[in-house]
Amino acid sequence: MAWVDRLKKGLSKARLGFANSLGNVLKGGKKLSADQIEQVEEILISGDVSARLATQLAESLAEHSRQELANGGLMAVLEGEIRERLQGCERKLAVRSDGQPTVVMMAGVNGSGKTTTAAKIASRLREDDPKMPITFAAADTFRAAAIDQLAVWAERIGVDLVRHSIGADPSAVVFDAIDHTQRVGGVLIVDTAGRLQTKHNLMEELTKIERTVTKKLGRGSDERLLVLDATTGQNGISQATKFHEAIDLTGIVITKLDGTAKGGVVLSIWDQVHVPLLYIGVGEGKEDLHEFSAHQFVEALFEN
């Protein structure tokens, strides 16, 4: 199945509760009543659009509805507005071309898909350039299984792995991994442990890892990516805000858009945190990661 179809399939539940119900409220082609405006807001919020953005979108629709657009006109207005708001949201992963190592940090809460996404990114890079060295740093040292999981991927994709034993200081792993990458070149992907955005000491550990990168490399990491599980809905906004405060995120990856996710979180995150979306995950396989396309995303969200 083409990835756009997977995304569409994944978002189909969202569409049923989103585009269809919106279509019902907006089909009249008449000026929206206060009651209808409220319904629009509620539908958007139930599709994981933040309250703030839902209010703004509903108000804009109310404004347009004064013109008593023909049937379906308001749906097109909403789609256009969402497209416009997503401008600037796409960005590609930055691989350095100056001979220096590219360092990519993966961060996020437990189970969001950090390790899988690290593997998916490595797999894409490997396909783009079979000769470029790629290294994983196993900086999730909390659980032996976490190190093993990354080792399995490293073997499968054919990338180097720098690991310490369980319980080791993640910063020490990263120090050694940078050392390795400085020798072999290419890209280093740092897999970190899951941490709740509300746990100060764990967030502090992440900033410590980043300080180690700066000390060893003479500059910060090139990418600091937050991996966000789309099915966690609005909590994603809090995660993005806190991780952004801690390590100044350069990008976001939203995973599990093939499941029961509603999709509105994509809009809300960009609206509220303004960190670009690099990739979306639509499955567990290494090929199930795609560069985010706002255009295709909106199409999938609104298709009937």
Ligand X SMILES: Nc1nc2c(ncn2[C@@H]2O[C@H](COP(=O)(O)OP(=O)(O)O)[C@@H](O)[C@H]2O)c(=O)[nH]1
Any contact of residue 239 with ligand X (CB under 6 A)? no
Query: Does the protein bind ligand X through residue 110 (CB under 6 A)?
Result: yes
Among 65, 102, 115, 250, binds Mg ion (CB under 5 A): 115
Amino acid at 45: I
| Choices 76-84, 153-161, 204-212, 256-264 (CB under 6 A): range interacting with ligand X | 256-264
DSSP E strands: which ranges in 256-304? 277-281, 289-291
Contacting residue, 21, 39, 102, 115, with ligand X by CB under 6 A = 115
How deeply is 295 buried, as exposed, middle or buried, from its count of CB atoms within 10 A (0-12, 13-18, 19+)?
exposed
Closest contact distance (angstroms) between CB of 97 and ligand X is 29
**11 CB burial (10 A radius; 0-12, 13-18, 19+):** buried
As a whole number of angstroms, the distance between CA 26 and CA 71 comes to 8
User: Contact with ligand X (CB under 6 A): which of 3, 175, 283, 300?
Assistant: 283
> Which residue number is nearest to ligand X in terms of Cβ?
281
Residue 50 DSSP symbol? -
- Rounded distance, CA 4 to CA 91, Å? 18
- β-strand partners of 137: 162, 190
Residue with tokens 């009543």: 33
Residue 232 carries which DSSP code?
Answer: G
Does residue 170 belong to the site contacting ligand X (CB under 6 A)? no
Count of residues near Mg ion by CB under 5 A: 2
Shortest spacing between CB 23 and ligand X, in angstroms: 28
Of the candidate residues 23, 47, 101, 194, the single one contacting ligand X (CB under 6 A): 194
Could you list the residues that contact Mg ion (CB under 5 A)?
114-115
Could you list the residues that contact ligand X (CB under 6 A)?
108, 110-116, 194, 227, 255-256, 258-259, 281-284, 288
